[in-house]
Structure 1
């Protein structure tokens, strides 16, 4: 057994050698896949626990916080390449290939005329649930995790959590029925 093998067997890093964790892109992909699978399992468990309307996914879109019903969400994926589509609304960013499916990417902040969401390293795409029959995803500035809406107080059309943050409920099914949302072509 050489020095490198002895150090690895003992769990000791050999000076001057990169950690296998940093130099192993396949390992990083596997850890990411496991993390995504665990998140998906937690989201599915929340959906089937009878509290789907109470426990929702909190996301930041632009500078606003939104609560999305877990039953209406598909996947949360990193923002990949988005191919612009000519002659569309400014809020329709274009098409992205997500697991072999072309998905329309929407900047919901721009759709609401509330500025635009900037694509940052932490940006994600929140896809619509397959049951909605709409191959679409929203550009999300940050995923804030699961939230318990039942513990929030009503503040007009919004909800306020215990820390004073205001949340706007976002009904994706209702959004897919809005005529303006359905017509992405520029006028």
Structure 2
């Protein structure tokens, strides 16, 4: 009995170690906003969930969708596609809220078109094309040649355009 328990323990431990190594490699979360594919480092990303009911906030920019109550905490919700000059995101179907900013003490959520799952740095190669948005940390291409943008959430959360949600 003791040998089988030890063997089971070792097998479980080996599986957990293998899963941990895989999780470390998959350190990016992919998501879509309009026609663009984005990546965020897992430590920068918070939770991702279906969009709850949003409370509108008057006299705000069109990309500021309102407030969401997530387990008793209010989050300002930004339609990230619209913020980047694209068509508005419909808050239904595959759309998700990506909670960001917790590491920076900011309760902010991005409304995204869809989550595309966990990705590995190894799945991408650098892209030489530039981007003038300061919250784009890097441009990369996946193995199929599709372009992806890597978001720098600290720069996004500190950018004056992002912070100025009020109408002028």
TM-score, normalised with respect to structure 1: 0.69
Structure 1, unmatched stretches of 5+, are 1-41
Aligned residues of 2:101 and 2:157 also touching (Cα < 8 A): no
Counterpart check, 1:145 vs 2:126: no
* Counterparts of residues 11-160 of structure 1 (less than 5 Å): 46=23, 49=24, 55-155=27-127, 156-157=129-130, 158-160=139-141
Structure 2, unmatched stretches of 5+, are 1-18, 131-138
> Aligned partners of 1:77 and 1:151: how far apart in 2?
24
User: Which deviations, in whole Å up to 9, do the C-alpha atoms of 1:18-40 show, x marking residues without a partner?
Assistant: xxxxxxxxxxxxxxxxxxxxxxx
Deviation at 1:69, TM superposition (A): 1.1
Give the match's secondary structure for 1:71.
coil
Structure 1 runs of 4+ off > 4 angstroms?
none
> Aligned partners of 2:46 and 2:123: how far apart in 1?
25
Residues paired across the two proteins, number:
140
> Aligned partners of 1:120 and 1:147: how far apart in 2?
24
Deviation at 1:149, TM superposition (A): 2.5
Name the one with the larger strand percent.
2
> Aligned partners of 1:172 and 1:162: how far apart in 2?
25
Q: Which residue number in structure 1 is paired with residue 149 of structure 2?
A: 168
- Worse-matched range after superposition: 114-123 or 167-176: 114-123
* Counterparts of residues 5-16 of structure 1 (less than 5 Å): none
User: Which deviations, in whole Å up to 9, do the C-alpha atoms of 1:114-154 show, x marking residues without a partner?
Assistant: 22222222211000142121101000111101111233122
Aligned residues of 1:96 and 1:104 also touching (Cα < 8 A): yes
> Aligned partners of 2:101 and 2:80: how far apart in 1?
17
| Cα root mean square deviation, aligned | 2.0
Q: Which residue number in structure 2 is paired with residue 24 of structure 1?
A: none
Deviation at 1:183, TM superposition (A): 1.1
